[in-house]
Amino acid sequence: MTRKQKRLSIIAGALGFLGAATALTFYALGQKTSYFYMPADLVATAVPPGQRVRLGGLVEEGSVVRGEGSRVTFAVADGGGRVPVTYVGLLPDLFREGQGVVTEGTFDGAGTFVADSVLAKHDENYMPKEVADSLKEQGVWQQN
C-alpha cells in the first residue's frame, strides 16, 4: 500500500466514523422529540394517541380534583380550548388554579391527556415563552 492509499483509507475511515456518529445522534434526538401545543392548537390538530407532546396553558379555575393516592385531574385552558389532564405523582409546590403550567405526556384513546411530568411557573415573572406569547395573543394572560 502506498503512502497516498494509506492517507485515503484513513480519511475514508474517519469520514465513515463521523457519519455513523452523526446518524446515531440524530436518531437518538428524534426519539426524544415532543411537540409543544396549546389547548386551542389541539382543537384544530388531531394528535394520535400515544404520540408524545407538551401541553401548555393555564390551570383552569375549579378544575383541580385530587383523587385516590397521588392521582390528580385538572384542565389546561387558554381561552380557545380546554384539555382534561390526568397526572399521578407529586405536583410542584407552586401548582395551583389560574397559574401557568407545562405538562408532558400522551393522549389516551378517550381524549384525556395523561401527563408524566408537570412544570409550574417558578416565580411571579416567569412563564415559558411559547405559552406566554400564545396567551397574550388571545388576551387571556397579562404580565403583572
**Domain check: are 42 and 20 in the same one?**
no
**Domain check: are 107 and 70 in the same one?**
yes
Which string of b and e fits 56-92 if b means at least 16 CB within 10 Å? bbbbbeeebeeeeeeebebbbbbbbbbbebbbeeebe
**Domain check: are 70 and 14 in the same one?**
no
Task: Say if residue 35 carries a ligand binding annotation.
Answer: no
**Domain check: are 84 and 128 in the same one?**
yes
Residues of the domain holding 4: 1-33
**Domain check: are 5 and 40 in the same one?**
no
* Predicted local confidence at residue 34, as pLDDT: 61
* Predicted local confidence at residue 31, as pLDDT: 61
Question: For residue 116, what is the domain's CATH number?
Answer: 2.40.50.140
**Domain check: are 26 and 39 in the same one?**
no
Overall number of domains in the chain: 2
Model pTM? 0.64
Mean pLDDT in order along the chain per 10 residues (144 residues): 91 94 84 72 77 86 88 87 89 85 87 88 62 74 58
Task: Say if residue 27 carries a ligand binding annotation.
Answer: no
